[in-house]
């Protein structure tokens, strides 16, 4: 596929963490064009530029834990998932792939609460959830504490983390506890892949969650929808 006359925005300030990743050339941007920040004239995103040329106006994300993932544009790879894809409506008012998430469970515990307003964002590494949910999760992790210097929950790298399950639509998806051990930060301490969404205003289902599912970002219908399925 070819994006004809695609605008590319040049960054004037870039974090050292971003430039340290030599395999990274920039951000593609797969949210909706309404929040594109190109100036002085607003531009369409890459996907909005090419979608009319695709067999189907959709893209998929098949991210993986500790391995290279893939994106697909215009088609759904049936070999990448098992069972059915469960779709839920998307609210585009804020320019994100925004949907309503249902209840959650920690480990083998009972499903409780409703996570509510959420976005799926491949450009966010972590899984941001309500503070009460995050507190309940780390109560199940021996030695977990909030680190002001690290900006979130840390725990001994040797700790066993429980799975985290979330219901979306009629299906429930499980994020394995091993995925939630994001990265070592100092000595024997590791940083949690689930953190509080304080000040954000919604949950962010970032890569910690997306690596556990096959995701479909679909604009082929009369209104956008997002679908998730279990990986094959």
Phi/psi at 147 (nearest 5 deg)? -105, 115
The tens digit of pLDDT for each residue in 158-216 reads: 999 999 999 999 999 999 999 999 999 988 999 999 999 999 999 999 999 999 999 99
Q: Which residue has the tokens 């959709």?
A: 58
| Three-state SS at 32 | coil
CA 181 to mean position of chain CA atoms: 16
The pair of structure tokens assigned to 21 is 């990743």
Q: State the Cα–Cα distance between residues 187 and 157, nearest whole angstrom.
A: 9
pLDDT at 24 over 90: no
Of the candidates 74, 191, 203, the one whose C-alpha atom is nearest the C-alpha of residue 144 is 191
Distances (CA, A) of 174 to 84, 91, 208, 221: 15, 24, 11, 27
Q: State the Cα–Cα distance between residues 181 and 194, nearest whole angstrom.
A: 9
The pair of structure tokens assigned to 32 is 């909706």
Q: Which domains does the chain have, with CATH numbers?
A: 77-231 (2.40.70.10)
* pLDDT (0 to 100) of residue 39: 84
The tens digit of pLDDT for each residue in 124-145 reads: 999 999 999 999 999 999 999 9
What is the overall mean pLDDT for the chain? 96
Q: Which residue has the tokens 């399925």?
A: 229
């Amino acid at each position: 596929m070819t994006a004809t006359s695609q605008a590319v925005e040049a960054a004037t300030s870039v974090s050292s963490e971003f430039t340290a990743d030599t395999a990274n050339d920039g951000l593609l941007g797969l949210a909706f064009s309404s929040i594109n920040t190109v100036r002085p004239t607003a531009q369409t995103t890459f996907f909005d530029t090419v979608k009319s040329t695709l067999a189907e106006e959709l893209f998929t994300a098949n991210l993986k834990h500790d391995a290279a993932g893939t994106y697909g544009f215009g088609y759904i790879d049936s070999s990448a998932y098992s069972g059915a894809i469960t779709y839920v409506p998307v609210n585009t008012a804020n320019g994100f792939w925004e949907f309503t998430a249902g209840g959650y469970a920690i480990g083998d515990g009972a499903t409780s609460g409703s996570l509510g307003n959420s976005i799926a964002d491949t450009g966010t590494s972590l899984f941001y959830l309500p503070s009460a949910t995050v507190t309940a999760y780390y109560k199940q992790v021996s030695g977990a504490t909030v680190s002001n210097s690290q900006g979130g929950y840390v725990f001994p790298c040797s700790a066993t983390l429980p799975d985290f399950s979330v219901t979306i639509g009629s299906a429930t998806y499980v994020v394995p506890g091993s995925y939630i051990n994001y990265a070592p930060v100092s000595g024997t301490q590791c940083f949690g892949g689930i953190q509080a969404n304080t000040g954000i205003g919604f949950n962010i289902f970032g890569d910690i969650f997306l690596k556990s599912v096959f995701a479909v970002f679909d604009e082929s219908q009369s209104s956008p929808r997002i679908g998730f399925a279990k990986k094959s």
